[in-house]
Amino acid sequence: MNILLKKSLLIMNKKVDIIIDGNKYQSETGRNLVDVAKDFGIVIPTLCYFKEIHPTLGTCRICTVKINGRHTTGCTATVQEGMEVEINTPELLDNRAAIVEMLYAEGNHFCPSCEKSGDCELQNHAYNMGLTVTRYPHAFTHKAVDFTPHRMIMESNRCILCKRCVEEIKTKDGKSVFSFVKRGVQTRIQIDYKEESKLSDEEALHAMEICPVGAILVKGIANEKPFGERKYDFLNQQVQTKLKHEQIKLKDGEKFVVGTTSLAGCFGCHMSLLDIDTDLLDMVEIVEFNKSPLTDIKNFSKRCHIGLIEGGCANSENVHVLRKFRENCDILVSFGECAIMGGIPAMRNFVPLQECLEESYLNGHTSELGADIIPHSEDIPKLLDKVYPCNEVVDIDYYIPGCPPNAQHIWKVVKSILLGEEIPISYNEFKYD
């Protein structure tokens, strides 16, 4: 072994003290910070980081930490003498949540209908962070889904451009299968069909597995793993949720007043609400319903403590009703995927409105032969250009995800909000796939 190599190995293995979030730890110089933190039980969330890829990618930025006061990506940092690392400060936690939220808003992430749900690293981070909604408007992208490859499907609308597949998946003769094409917001992953056809079944499966989201799918296999056997199905941890309002004060004999409505939804969330079985008795002890399809009361006759909104805004009437709920309810809760991000109705957001109408009324398989009228009348609510999540129209105070949300979970959250109690949610209850 030459002297220079010996010297560098000595430097690599030198034990040094480092500070992480104010605590002193000892580690060897040169080791990856994400791995070192993990050894000490400190999780730095990552998406693009993949141990086999050198040098590390540093593309997704969710591992951003502060080293000696400067922001940097944890996955590209190695232990050095005198290192002071900040990982879980409020500022960094919020930055990390913001990046996850941006990834959700930037792609089309319909978790309840996604093959990767339960195995998805992005979704797992969102659950762990207690994220129920993104603070950014959804872009609703329309990148073509590529079914042409021999074994794979590329769903670019879910791709987070982490670059793992580009670096990791090569043919036996070293050729790339995946590459970036286009630029800026148009950037997407392109599969080289010829090289992809050379991959073995195992290599194709490996590509699907290393993709942290559900962008790479293997035909006939993507849906194979049942729920209950997926990677993140049974994590034993609590999800952080906080109350954001003052406790509601009732006069003697008074009940909490609740209003509910279904906008562009399927009523499944209301059906789920009724599924709480014997808890209904518990509910009617403390709650009276006002404007709601459950009571058939059409207009508010008194102010509500809480309004539960199912469905997003697809037309002018939905917007009107939602605004009325905001005016008449102290606390507004979006419940279900459609209210939170548009859900299934928002799948029309990828297609121009005129094309949707023509498909529905003129050219669709179920249209009458010779049909040439798209219905329009003053009495029919006007369709919006796209379906909007409720929080893009009015302020929403709480979110209960799910498609539909689990019945007991809805009541647990609503009851906690009404009684002003912290909302205790385990990871498994919070999961909405």
Pairs from 108-113 (Cβ < 8 Å, separation ≥ 24): 108/140, 108/141, 108/157, 108/158, 108/350, 109/158, 109/213, 109/341, 110/337, 110/341, 110/343, 110/344, 110/347, 111/337, 111/432, 111/433, 112/337, 112/402, 112/403, 112/432, 112/433, 113/344, 113/403
Q: How far is the CB of 127 from ligand SF4 (least distance, A)?
A: 10
**Coil, strand or helix: which one is 57?**
coil
Q: How far is the CB of 100 from ligand SF4 (least distance, A)?
A: 9
- Residue 291 found at the interface with ligand SF4 (CB under 6 A): no
Q: Which member of 34, 65, 165, 341 binds ligand SF4 (CB under 6 A)?
A: 165
Looking at the Cβ atoms of 134 and 318, the one nearer to ligand SF4 is: 134
Looking at the Cβ atoms of 165 and 276, the one nearer to ligand SF4 is: 165
Q: Which member of 46, 123, 128, 328 binds ligand SF4 (CB under 6 A)?
A: 123
Q: How far is the CB of 423 from ligand SF4 (least distance, A)?
A: 22
- 381: region left, alpha or beta (phi > 0 left; psi from -120 to 50 alpha): beta
- Residue 214 found at the interface with ligand SF4 (CB under 6 A): yes
Q: Which member of 87, 129, 133, 162 binds ligand SF4 (CB under 6 A)?
A: 162
Q: How far is the CB of 129 from ligand SF4 (least distance, A)?
A: 13
- Write the interaction track for ligand SF4 spanning residues 339-378; mark x where CB under 6 A is met and - where it is not: ----------------------------------------
- Write the interaction track for ligand SF4 spanning residues 103-122; mark x where CB under 6 A is met and - where it is not: ------xxx--x-xx--x-x
Read off the DSSP letter of residue 352.
-
Q: Which member of 57, 87, 215, 423 binds ligand SF4 (CB under 6 A)?
A: 215
Q: Would you call 310 exposed, middle or buried from its count of C-beta atoms within 10 A (0-12, 13-18, 19+)?
A: buried
Looking at the Cβ atoms of 160 and 384, the one nearer to ligand SF4 is: 160
- 26 bridge partner residues: 17
Q: How far is the CB of 120 from ligand SF4 (least distance, A)?
A: 3
Q: How far is the CB of 188 from ligand SF4 (least distance, A)?
A: 8
Q: Which member of 36, 199, 211, 319 binds ligand SF4 (CB under 6 A)?
A: 211
- Residue 163 found at the interface with ligand SF4 (CB under 6 A): yes
- 27 bridge partner residues: 16
Q: Which member of 96, 151, 164, 386 binds ligand SF4 (CB under 6 A)?
A: 164
Quickly list H helices, 211-287. Answer: 268-274, 279-286
Q: How far is the CB of 322 from ligand SF4 (least distance, A)?
A: 25
Q: How far is the CB of 137 from ligand SF4 (least distance, A)?
A: 17
- The CA-CA-CA angle for residues 195, 223, 217, to 5°, reads 25
Number of residues that bind ligand SF4 (CB under 6 A): 25
- Residue 159 found at the interface with ligand SF4 (CB under 6 A): yes
Cα dist from 124 to 41, 354, 431, whole Å: 18, 37, 9
- Residue 45 found at the interface with ligand SF4 (CB under 6 A): no
Q: Which member of 75, 83, 161, 319 binds ligand SF4 (CB under 6 A)?
A: 161
- Residue 75 found at the interface with ligand SF4 (CB under 6 A): no
Q: Which member of 158, 270, 291, 431 binds ligand SF4 (CB under 6 A)?
A: 158
- Omega before residue 55 within 30° of 0, cis: yes
Tokens of 334: 């979006």
Greatest alpha-carbon pair distance for the chain in Å reads 87
Q: How far is the CB of 326 from ligand SF4 (least distance, A)?
A: 28
Sheet holding 23-28, edge to edge: 23-28, 15-20, 84-86, 64-67, 70-73
The amino acid at 221: I
- Omega before residue 404 within 30° of 0, cis: yes
Q: How far is the CB of 415 from ligand SF4 (least distance, A)?
A: 28
Helix H, strand E, coil C: the string for 105-170 is: HHCCCCHHHCCCCCCCHHHHHHHHCCCCCCCCCCCCCCCCCECCCCCEEECHHHCCCCCHHHHHCE
| Positions in the binding site for ligand SF4 (CB under 6 A) | 109-111, 114, 116-117, 120, 122-123, 158-165, 178, 189, 211-216
